[in-house]
Amino acid sequence: MGSLSIGDLSRKAGVKVPTIRFYEEIGLLPPPARTASNRRVYDAEAVKRLSFIRHARELGFEVEAIRALLRLSSEPQAPCAEADRIARRHLAEVEDRIARLTALRAELERMVAECGHGRVCDCRVIEVLADHRLCHHDHH
């Protein structure tokens, strides 16, 4: 794979052009080479790096974690303890988010189940939304 335009890179890595430009702006992607007419050109390494970033974003990693993981990936013989620490921290965040969503689901199920399906003036959904003290679960 020789030099690729930004459109080619976008198609190969499955990332939109504005996102590629953004990743360049924030330093996740290095500045690309430029043609004489100042057009960006990319190589196979850019496709691999951008695919790595896209996959990490799909898994919910934050930009700073991805930056650290990219830095680690450039040192293949280094211990992976730091990568493991980053992934474990992200896993803990995901588990916390799941717990909060589970509590939220339970509260919504309870609100709907307790609703008399009559008039709005007697609606349990409206009551609970108006007064957080009526919630049974912490869903902050």
For 1-23, what is the HEC assignment?
Answer: CCCECHHHHHHHHCCCHHHHHHH
One-letter amino acid identity for 49?
R
Cα→Cα distances 30→22, 60, 73, 79, 126, Å: 11, 22, 15, 24, 52
Say whether pLDDT at 65 is over 90: yes
Question: Is-contact 110 129, C-beta < 8 A?
Answer: no
Say whether pLDDT at 54 is over 60: yes
Question: Is-contact 32 24, C-beta < 8 A?
Answer: yes
Residue 21 pLDDT level (bands cut at 50, 70, 90): very high
Task: Say which range, 87-96, 105-114, 122-131, has the weakest mean pLDDT.
Answer: 122-131
What is the reported pLDDT for 32? 92
Question: Is-contact 103 138, C-beta < 8 A?
Answer: yes
What is the reported pLDDT for 88? 98
First CA to last CA distance, the chain: 49
Residue 139 pLDDT level (bands cut at 50, 70, 90): low
- Give the E-state strand segments of 13-121 in sequence order: 33-34, 40-41
pTM: 0.79
Task: Say which range, 1-5, 40-44, 86-90, 120-124, has the weakest mean pLDDT.
Answer: 120-124
Mean of the per-residue pLDDT values of the chain: 90
